[in-house]
Amino acid sequence: MKTLRNVLILSLLCTLAFGCKQEPDPFQEALGAYILQGQAGTFELFRIEKIDSTTFRTEFERREHVFQRKLEEETVLYGSYTMQRMPKNAARHWEAIQRTEQAMKGLDSLQAVLEGRLDEIAYYDYVFSGQSVIGEETTNYLGAFASMTPYLEVIALCSERRDLHKSGGHAIPGYLQMLSSTKAEE
């Protein structure tokens, strides 16, 4: 009887040991892949908290505001250089105006394509703490910020929350291709 009990205890412990594998945290995997960028190393996530979400509609509004502001700035510079009779500078700003207008039309086209998804979440903002080790170099992320799509694609990582949306638009399908085709610089 004692042998049977020991065998049962041993088999129960083995079952627990092999059956209780902890699934990797998908946030840790996504952030780790982004931070390590293919380099050999480790990333450990200590804490993560969702702090905000952004819909496609809001992201389009942000992008439109950025391009509108750029268009206004370029128009003022174009007018200034034209009045100063500096045709080379004026021509450069006229080209920038044309590229920005083209990018705004491209943004409108992308918005029309996503019309049915405008109220879906484009990405979430997180604050997190973690640590990466690459070779001999250890980097601590204390109160760092990340933006991630619902599919756990990291689109931005920064130390200040105010910088989180500077690389915006990346969550909009086709946005980067549209920018590269118009060569509009933000």
Averaged pLDDT, 125-134: 92
Averaged pLDDT, 43-50: 91
- The pLDDT score that the predictor gives to residue 5 is 58
User: DSSP for the chain?
Assistant: -HHHHHHHHHHHHHHHHHH-PPPPPHHHHHHHHHHHTT-S-EEEEEEEEEEEEEEHHHHHHHHHHHHHHHHHHHHHHHHHHHHTT-HHHHHHHHHHHHHHHHHHHHHHHHHHHTGGGTTSEEEEEEEEEEEEEETTEEEEEEEEEEEE-TT--EEEEESSGGGTTTTTTTTSTTHHHHHHHHT---
pTM: 0.74
- The pLDDT score that the predictor gives to residue 175 is 86
**pLDDT digit string (tens) for 72-128?**
999 999 998 988 888 898 999 999 999 999 999 999 999 999 999 999 999 999 999
Whether 183 shows a pLDDT value over 70: the answer reads no
Q: Regarding predicted confidence, which is higher, 131 or 162? A: 131
Whether 18 shows a pLDDT value over 60: the answer reads no
